[in-house]
Amino acid sequence: MGRYSLGLVVLGLLALAFSTTVMAETHVVGDSKGWDYSVSFDSWADGKVFATGDTLVFNYKPGAHNVLAVDAATYRSCKVSSPDSVAAATGTASFLLKKGANYFICGVAGHCAAGMKLRVVAN
């Protein structure tokens, strides 16, 4: 192997060693139980690491629940400010996480107040 080829191999190995590329992950909210009353979403999120660009997948019973990405005030109050912001209850929804706090609630009356809400912080 010539000096030039060896240099390219070394540069390639160095680039690989110092690579900071991170693969985005997909997190199924509530695991096999899904987005449902039977899940403590604070407990579900505890200990998990979320990164910017990860995807949260919400699976739920169509017609019984929905999921909305909301701001902090709506998360705290559980009051949806506009009927237009209520997503269709299709049974599944996916959201890309942005850097910082991300908030989600069930927009069906009374569900958020009963605990169907989730806050995750993405690095």
- Are 105 and 116 in contact, with CB atoms under 8 Å apart? yes
- Report the predicted TM-score, pTM, of the whole model to 2 decimal places: 0.77
Q: Supply the pLDDT for residue 15.
A: 47
Query: Which of 8-17, 37-46, 83-92, 101-110 is least confident?
Result: 8-17
The pLDDT confidence band at residue 118, using thresholds 50, 70 and 90, is: very high
Q: How many domains does the chain have?
A: 1
Domain that holds residue 112: 23-122
Q: Is residue 35 part of a domain?
A: yes
CATH number of the domain encompassing residue 72: 2.60.40.420
User: 15 by DSSP, 3-state: which?
Assistant: helix
Q: In angstroms, rounded to a whole number, what is the distance separating the alpha carbons of residues 64 and 106?
A: 10
5 domain-assigned: no
Burial 65-95 (b: 16+ CB within 10 A, else e): bbbbbbeeebbeebebeeeeeeeebebebeb
User: Per the domain annotation, does 36 fall within a domain?
Assistant: yes
Query: Is 2 part of a structural domain of the chain?
Result: no
- What does the pLDDT look like over 44-97, one tens digit per residue? 999 999 999 999 999 998 888 999 999 999 999 999 876 544 555 678 999 999
Q: Does a structural domain hold residue 91?
A: yes
pLDDT at 27 over 90: yes
SS (H, E, C) 60-119: CCECCECCEEECHHHHHHCCCCCHHHCCCCCCEEEEECCCEEEEEECCCCCCCCCCCEEE
Find, among 87, 85, 81, 72, the residue nearest to 118 by Cα: 72
The per-residue pLDDT for range 44-53, each reduced to its tens digit, is 999 999 999 9
In a domain, 38, yes or no: yes
Please indicate, yes or no, if residue 40 is contained in any of the structural domains. yes
The verdict on residue 87 lying in a domain is yes
